[in-house]
Structures are given as structure tokens and as C-alpha cells.
Chains A and B, each alone.
Chain A
Amino acid sequence: MATVRIPPVLRAQTGGQPEVDALGSSVGEVLRGLIAEHPKTEDQLFDSEGDLNRYVNIYLNDEDVRVLDGLDTSVGDGDTIVILPAMAGG
């Protein structure tokens, strides 16, 4: 079981929860698990081709999955996945 940290802009789609638990052995599976629980997050994470949106950064613990194996990066128990969008507020 991994923990997914939900950014403020996505919390409306997760019932306000700042983090949720999700099953899966890879980053992609965990995100698909999140979408299964909270379907409204899908459009914001993935494009119509099923690829991760370019404006969404996904971190496994403190490392960007783009420098790991992307959605195939394996996830272990106790890992944290951070969904990181750009914010512009000042």
C-alpha cells in the first residue's frame, strides 16, 4: 500500500482528502488505483492517449519519476507518491 499526496487543486476530486492510500506495484498502477477510487482525477492526470499530462509532475518519494522508469517505476509498501502541479499564486 502506497500513499498518494493530493495537491490542493485535485482535492475537490478526492472528497477533500490531502492524501489517500492506493494499491499497485508501479506508479502507473497506483495512479490507476487512485482513478478507480476517484474517477474525476483522471482527466487531470492523463491525456486522451493515456499518457501522463506534461504539466503534472509525479514524484516517488523525493525523485521525479521522469528520471526513474516513468509510470513503470516500481512502488513498494510505505512509498509516497507526490502529485505536483505548478501553482501560480502569489
Chain B
Amino acid sequence: MATSAEAGTQAQIEEIEPFEAVEEIEGGEVVLIDTREPHEYQEAHLQGGKLVPPGLLAEEIAAAAPDKSARTILYCRTGNRSALAAAQMQKLGYEDVASMAGGIVLWQEQGLPVVAAQGMTAEQRERYSRHTLLPEVGVDGQLKLLEAKVLLVGAGGLGAPTALYLAAAGVGTIGLVDDDVVDASNLQRQVIHSTERIGMPKTRSARLTIEALNPDVEVVEHRMRLDASNILETIEGYDVIVDGADNFPTRYLLNDASVRLRKPVVSASILSFDGQISTFVPFEGPCYRCLYPTPPPAELAPSCSANGVLGVMAGTMGTLQANEVFKLVLGVGEPLIGRLLLYEALSTRFTELKVRRDPECPICGESAPEIAESELGRFPDYELFCSG
């Protein structure tokens, strides 16, 4: 029952019925605002609804609804708070605001769909609450993370920190490709492993750590080395690939296969105190071969085992990779597409370089040969490459 003050407010603002709201929402061009509290929003909300709690309206409405002339529909639980918020927005200069009568309760009574946190248990709602409180993530975003399938190529200096953060974030399926075992010399940077696991396969060690950190994550061990005969079937089922390989043949092979299957690759590499990272989304931005058409000769391709690598720098680059995965899965922010970020740990300096698609790229360029299905998986010349 609305108070008299609310009734007065409601008289001045436009109210629409849920069936009218549906038509407008389906027609597009509508900003939909949820004027309830975060815990209510997490339970269930309308698809596309942006959370702006009543107490934060003055601070947050501009970000959620930047265009004051745009059609804006507000809803809450039963229609009172959204009516008050609509009046407040009108005072702020919003020109075309409506409140949905009856709120999400009436909406659901009429059988209209909501995004419910059904996929999330009470434990998950608590575990991921610091994510779901972020408007850019929310319950929708967390559910996307829980459904995401991410493949890490390499469970070493880059893969270890990447895997830890992706696991903590609740990425539902994490595949790990590595054929190596944990060595004492790994432990200075590969923080997913531990002293007692020396000699254990890295995929197994990483799996144990991930499962202890977050039981929501399903870990798929690929204890193997990628080659032309197995790469397509290995990467096929994943949404995003993270390249933390320690050698050039794998990097070129992974690029060529991922372009073929149109899988985004978050690629980083490390040496000494320096790291590089970029995100390659096939045909949307450049690929690895656009950036590096040919691998360098062996004397210019030293490995970390020969040259050394600062452990915490590997951690910085690995967590930057996890950050890229997060953005790709959620579709938020600006991934490093067409940008190469260099990091120098000794000077703590980041440098951003432009990377463009190469029209003559043999893999993703305009005249890149269409490879017949029977030839998929055949990648010539890898044996000629130096090894990292």
C-alpha cells in the first residue's frame, strides 16, 4: 500500500503495466533500471536490467542511464520504489521515465521471464558476492563465468597465476595443457604448485590446488604436448584460449588453429624482467602472425631456463591474462585487441603499441588460403622452428 506521499509521487509520473513494458523492451532502445537493493537483484531481475539502488541513485544513475532523453523504464519489487526513483530522475532532468506498476512481483505473476540466480547456490551467492555487487558483473556475469570454458596452454610461470585467479573467479571449466612435471626450479614463480608436489605432473598439481580453492571449477587435464595432430580437437570445446606456452612452435600452431576455429587467444610471453601481452580475436583484430610473421632464429629466442625470469613479473603477466579472459567472457571493458602491452618490471613501466591486421597475413589475411576440411590440422614448417 503506497503512502500518501508515494501516491502523490505516483500521480505525477508515468506508470506502465508489465505487458506494456515487455513490448517496449523487446522493441529495443530502452534503458531498464532496477531500483532495488543488491541482494534482491541477485535473487532475480529482468534481463538487461541495470541495478541502481535507491540510496545510490544520485551517484550512479548517470553511469547506468547516460542519455537523459532516452526512454527509461524503472522497476522494483512492487512499484513503489521505482515510482519514487522516477520522480527523482525527473528532477535530475530525465525526460522520458516510466515506472512499471506492480514491479517484478506482478511481472513474474504474469509468467514473464526473469534472470534468476537459480544456477547459483547460497554458497555461490556468498562466494561470488564481491563480483555480483559489481554492476559490470552482476549475477548474469557470474553465471557466464560459471559456464565459461577456458583452456590454459602451459601450466607454468604464466599459467599458474592465470589458473589461480580464473579458478577463484569461478570459471566453470578450466582445461590445462602441459606435459611436464613439477620441478624445484619452477617454484620461484609457478605458485599453483608446491614443494611436496615436486615430480608430480603439473596438470595434476594444478588440479589439486584449483579443487581446494574452488569446488565449482571442473578441471580438465590435457597431459600432452600440442601438435598438429591433436590441437584442433583439444581446443575445439573451449571459449577462450590462454597462451602461456614456452616455445615458438606451440605459439604458431596455436595461433593457426585458433584462427581456423575462430577462438580468441590471450597471449603473453615473458623473459628476464620483461613481459608482453595481447589479445588475438580472429578476424576482429590481428593474429599472432600479423604481429610476428616469422619466428626469430635460435640465438634470438632464448628460453627462461637459459636466461632466467623474475617470478613476480610472471605473476603480473599471468594475472593480466586472467583479466583479459574476464573481459572476453563477460563482454565488458576493452580487451587488448590490436594492442600489445609491454611491461618492464625493473622500471615498472608499461608501454602500449598498436598492432594491425596484416592484409597479407598467411593465416588471417585477405588472401589466406581456404584450407579444405581434410587438410585441417596440417601445419607445415613447424619442425623448422627453433625451440624455446
CA gap between A8 and B388 in the complex, in Å: 15
Closest beta carbon of chain B to A71's beta carbon, Å: 17
Which residues of B have CB within 8 Å of A53? 296
Bits for B259-296, please: 1 = Cβ < 8 Å to A, else 0. 00000000011111110100000000000000111111
Does B247 reach chain A (CB closer than 8 Å)?
yes
Which residues of B have CB within 8 Å of A90? 154, 156-159, 243-246, 268-270, 304, 388
A89 and B271: CB pair below 8 A?
yes
Which residues of B have CB within 8 Å of A44? 299-300
**Given contacts A67-B356, A88-B245, is CB(A82)–CB(B274) below 8 Å?**
no
Closest beta carbon of chain A to B230's beta carbon, Å: 19
Does B307 reach chain A (CB closer than 8 Å)?
yes
CA gap between A87 and B343 in the complex, in Å: 13
Bits for A54-90, please: 1 = Cβ < 8 Å to B, else 0. 1111010011100100000000000000101111111
Which residues of A have CB within 8 Å of B276? 87
B352 and A55: CB pair below 8 A?
no
A7, A86, A88 — most chain B CB neighbours (10 Å)? A88
Closest beta carbon of chain B to A1's beta carbon, Å: 19
A8 and B355: CB pair below 8 A?
no
Partner of B272, one of A8, A56, A88: A8
Does B382 reach chain A (CB closer than 8 Å)?
no
CA gap between A67 and B274 in the complex, in Å: 25
Which residues of A have CB within 8 Å of B268? 90
CA gap between A9 and B307 in the complex, in Å: 9
**Given contacts A85-B296, A89-B309, is CB(A18)–CB(B353) below 8 Å?**
no
Closest beta carbon of chain A to B16's beta carbon, Å: 50
B354 and A62: CB pair below 8 A?
yes
Partner of B291, one of A7, A9, A57, A88: A57
Size category of the binding interface on chain A: 20 to 34
Which residues of A have CB within 8 Å of B296? 9, 53, 55-56, 85-86
Among residues of B, the one whose C-beta sits closest to the C-beta of A19 is B347
B300 and A9: CB pair below 8 A?
yes
CA gap between A9 and B272 in the complex, in Å: 9
Size category of the binding interface on chain B: 35 or more
Does B301 reach chain A (CB closer than 8 Å)?
yes
A88 and B303: CB pair below 8 A?
yes
CA gap between A90 and B293 in the complex, in Å: 20
Which residues of B have CB within 8 Å of A18? 344, 346-347
Among residues of A, the one whose C-beta sits closest to the C-beta of B344 is A18
Which residues of B have CB within 8 Å of A57? 291-292
**Given contacts A7-B274, A64-B354, is CB(A89)–CB(B292) below 8 Å?**
no
B270 and A89: CB pair below 8 A?
yes
Does B367 reach chain A (CB closer than 8 Å)?
no
Partner of A86, one of B157, B248, B303: B248
B293 and A54: CB pair below 8 A?
yes
Which residues of A have CB within 8 Å of B295? 55, 86, 88
Which residues of B have CB within 8 Å of A84? 340, 342, 353
CA gap between A53 and B293 in the complex, in Å: 11
CA gap between A87 and B248 in the complex, in Å: 8
Partner of A88, one of B248, B293, B342: B248
Bits for B285-325, please: 1 = Cβ < 8 Å to A, else 0. 00000011111110111111001010000000000000000
B246 and A64: CB pair below 8 A?
no
Does B251 reach chain A (CB closer than 8 Å)?
yes
A64 and B303: CB pair below 8 A?
no
* A–B Cβ pairs within 8 angstroms, 15 of them: A9-B271, A9-B301, A44-B300, A54-B294, A55-B292, A57-B291, A59-B353, A62-B351, A82-B342, A84-B342, A86-B292, A87-B274, A88-B251, A89-B304, A90-B270
- Closest 7 A/B residue pairs (Cβ): A88-B388, A86-B292, A87-B269, A90-B244, A90-B246, A55-B296, A8-B272
Interface on B for A, CB 8 Å cutoff? 154, 156-159, 243-248, 251, 268-274, 276, 291-297, 299-304, 307, 309, 340, 342, 344, 346-347, 351-356, 388
Q: A90-B156, A90-B244 are in contact. List 16 more A-B contacts (CB 8 A).
A: A5-B351, A7-B274, A8-B272, A8-B273, A8-B274, A9-B296, A9-B300, A44-B300, A57-B291, A62-B353, A62-B354, A85-B300, A87-B270, A87-B276, A89-B303, A90-B157
